[in-house]
Every structure is written in structure tokens, then in C-alpha cells.
Amino acid sequence: MPTRTAPAPVLWSAAVRRLIATVHRIIGAPDYETYLAFMQRKHPGCTPLDARAFEKQRLADRYKQPGSRCC
């Protein structure tokens, strides 16, 4: 009996999403969807930040310690 696999466009789409997520993690770009999933899983009773507030907070966290950067 042959095994069933996902159609090629579905596989490419998933691979592209994983690649983009990896690049975002490498360069430190905020990932709002991951944040929402984390908040739902770990803090279900708390209201998560909206996307704009999340991005502001991430940038503030990233640049509040300028000595930790290489440049």
C-alpha cells in the first residue's frame, strides 16, 4: 500500500514558513503569533498585548541595553 504525502505546494508553503520564522529568530524580529500562542499556553487568564504594543515592547527590550550589542 503506497504512503500518502502532502501535495507539493503544501510542503513548499510549510518549508517557506519555517524558513521565514528561522530568519526572524536569527535577526531578532518579533514574532507576534508565537507570543500569542505562548500567552494562551502559559498565561491563559491574562490579556495579551496587541500587535503594535508587542512590537514597541520588543524594540524597547532590545535597545535598553546597548552594551549587549556588537555594534
Give 45-56 pLDDT, tens digit per residue.
999 999 999 989
Q: Where are the beta strands (DSSP E) in the chain?
A: none
Alpha-carbon distance of 46 to 32, in angstroms, equals: 16
pLDDT band for 4, please (50, 70, 90 cuts).
low
pTM (2 d.p.): 0.54
Q: Look over the chain and give the mean of its residue pLDDT values, rounded to a whole number.
A: 81
| pLDDT confidence of residue 6 | 61
pLDDT tens by residue, 28-42: 776 888 889 999 999
